[in-house]
Each structure stands twice: as structure tokens, then as C-alpha cells.
């Protein structure tokens, strides 16, 4: 029997835009109340809040800058607003360009703090206050290969992938922790659709996915009663072939 999402309270990090917005909307359509976390996208978060409330659910806004340790106490803040958190979606991340040649400790630390440490702290804090909750972490299909143009980011996501597996065992049965690995979905901030068009040929299905498909995978994991440590790749099969970003950026 599927885990009923109606009336559940969810915290979606980075829920104001892009994939986070799609997941928050999908959860609301299932009847879940949503805490929308955002860092700097206040106007977008307010717009999403309005949309969710029009779907008949409750919604709250929580601002926190994960690069400045804003994850500390966020679960408690969300629980205080809602009366308790049943669902955590760790979606917030940063995606700066970097190579091994120019990678810095400061840059790597920032990526780890936002992309891996913050999700871990949120899971750990949720485990301390909940005896029955669900978690979905957002990984990246690039983890199956190598993307040398985003070295700091990839290292941080590898760490989150390992933490996901460890936490799925450590925090069971109180938390059921799984993950989704998106592939080619949206162009990075600052890039246009030509970015997507250029990379579609590297996908076996020769097309891009949509944020709604990522949201559907997250909903599936949340409804499941017998999954832990699972990773669903939503990438058109891209993880099945060697990942190559092209010539090394000299």
C-alpha cells in the first residue's frame, strides 16, 4: 500500500525555482503542505507559495543561506511552523564551474557545505525529531562519469551520494532515504537553450527531460513503503554510457 502524502508536511530546499519548484508543486497536488526554503529568491518563493495555496494546501517560506550555515536549526524552524516534518527533499545546490587545475579549497568547501553537508545536517536533525519520515536527495547523473568542467560540484555530489547510502542504513527505520539523479533537464543559470541542444546528442534517447519527470520520480520514492538507499536515474539513459564533456579546457 502506498504511503499517503495527503496532509503530510514537507520541507523542500531550493523550492522556489526550477526542479525544486516542480517537486513542491507535485507534492502539493498530492495534498502535502509545503515549507519552501529559499536563499535569495524571495520573490519567486512568494509566487510559488501563492500557487501552492491555490491548490488547497498550506505553505510557508523559510529563508536560509546554506553557504553561511543557514541549515543549522532549519528542521526545527520548519517543524515549529508546521507542527512536524514528514518529508524532506534536499534539492538546493550550487553549480559553479571549476576544474582540477583551478580548484581551490575555498571553492570546494563551499560546494561541500551547500551540496552535501547541509543535506546531511538536515537528515540528521530530522532523524532526531521524527520516528517516521521520508527523504529524497537530488544527486546528478554526471556521477556515473566525469565532468571536468565542474570539479568542485562533482566532488560534493559524490559525497552526497555516499552519505545517502550511509544515512539510509544509519537512520532506518525512522527515515526512509532515497535519491533521484537528474540528467539533462534545464540549462544552468546563465546558459540558454543552445546548451541543451548541444548536449542532447550525448543522451541515448536524444532528448532532454523535464522538471516534472524529476518530480514524478521523487513522488514515487516518497510513496514507496519498501525502498531505502535507492537511486533513480532520470536521464534518458545517459548514466549507462561513459560520460565525456569534450576536450579538456586548457
pTM of the model: 0.96
Q: Is residue 48 part of a domain?
A: yes
pLDDT at 242: 63
pLDDT at 191: 87
Q: Decide if 222 contacts 132 (C-beta within 8 A).
A: no
What is the extent of the structural domain holding 148?
A: 9-233
Phi-psi region of 71 (alpha: psi -120 to 50; beta: other; left: phi over 0): alpha
Q: Is residue 243 part of a domain?
A: no
Q: Is residue 170 part of a domain?
A: yes
Looking at the DSSP assignment, which residues form a beta bridge with residue 222? Answer: none
Neighbours of 68 (CB within 10 A): 11
Share of the chain above pLDDT 70, in %: 96
Q: What is the mean pLDDT of residues 116-121?
A: 99
Q: Is residue 135 part of a domain?
A: yes
Q: Is residue 250 part of a domain?
A: no
Q: Decide if 167 contacts 177 (C-beta within 8 A).
A: yes
Neighbours of 207 (CB within 10 A): 11
The predicted-structure confidence for 182-200, as pLDDT tens digits, reads as follows 999 999 888 889 989 999 9
> Number of structural domains, the chain?
1
pLDDT at 8: 99
- Three-state DSSP class for residue 75: helix
pLDDT band at residue 243 using 50, 70 and 90 as cut-offs: low
The domain that holds 219 is classified in CATH as 3.40.50.720
pLDDT at 249 over 80: no
pLDDT band at residue 246 using 50, 70 and 90 as cut-offs: low
* Prior bond of 173 cis (ω within 30°): yes
pLDDT at 250: 58
Q: Is residue 25 part of a domain?
A: yes
Amino acid at each position: 500500500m502506498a504511503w499517503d502524502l495527503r496532509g503530510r508536511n514537507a520541507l523542500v530546499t531550493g523550492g522556489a525555482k526550477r526542479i525544486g519548484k516542480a517537486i513542491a508543486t507535485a507534492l502539493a497536488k498530492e495534498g502535502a503542505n509545503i515549507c519552501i526554503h529559499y536563499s535569495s529568491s524571495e520573490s519567486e518563493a512568494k509566487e510559488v507559495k501563492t500557487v501552492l495555496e491555490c491548490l488547497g494546501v498550506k505553505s510557508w517560506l523559510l529563508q536560509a543561506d546554506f553557504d553561511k550555515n543557514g541549515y543549522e536549526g532549519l528542521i526545527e524552524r520548519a517543524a515549529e511552523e508546521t507542527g512536524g516534518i514528514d518529508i524532506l527533499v534536499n534539492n538546493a545546490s550550487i553549480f559553479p564551474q571549476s576544474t582540477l587545475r583551478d580548484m581551490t579549497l575555498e571553492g570546494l568547501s563551499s560546494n561541500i557545505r551547500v551540496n552535501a553537508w547541509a543535506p546531511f545536517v538536515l537528515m540528521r536533525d530530522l532523524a532526531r525529531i521524527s520516528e517516521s519520515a521520508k527523504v529524497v536527495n537530488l544527486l546528478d547523473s554526471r556521477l556515473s562519469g566525469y565532468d571536468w568542467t565542474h570539479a568542485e560540484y562533482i566532488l560534493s555530489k559524490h559525497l552526497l551520494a555516499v552519505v545517502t547510502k550511509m544515512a539510509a542504513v544509519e537512520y532506518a527505520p525512522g527515515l526512509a532515504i532515497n535519491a533521484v539523479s537528474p540528467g539533462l533537464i534545464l540549462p544552468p543559470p546563465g546558459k540558454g537553450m543552445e546548451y541543451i541542444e548541444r548536449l542532447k546528442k550525448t543522451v541515448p534517447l536524444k532528448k532532454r527531460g523535464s522538471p516534472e519527470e524529476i518530480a514524478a520520480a521523487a513522488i514515487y520514492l516518497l510513496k514507496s513503503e519498501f525502498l531505502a538507499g535507492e537511486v533513480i536515474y532520470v536521464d534518458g539513459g545517459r548514466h549507462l554510457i561513459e560520460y565525456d564533456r569534450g576536450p579538456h579546457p586548457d
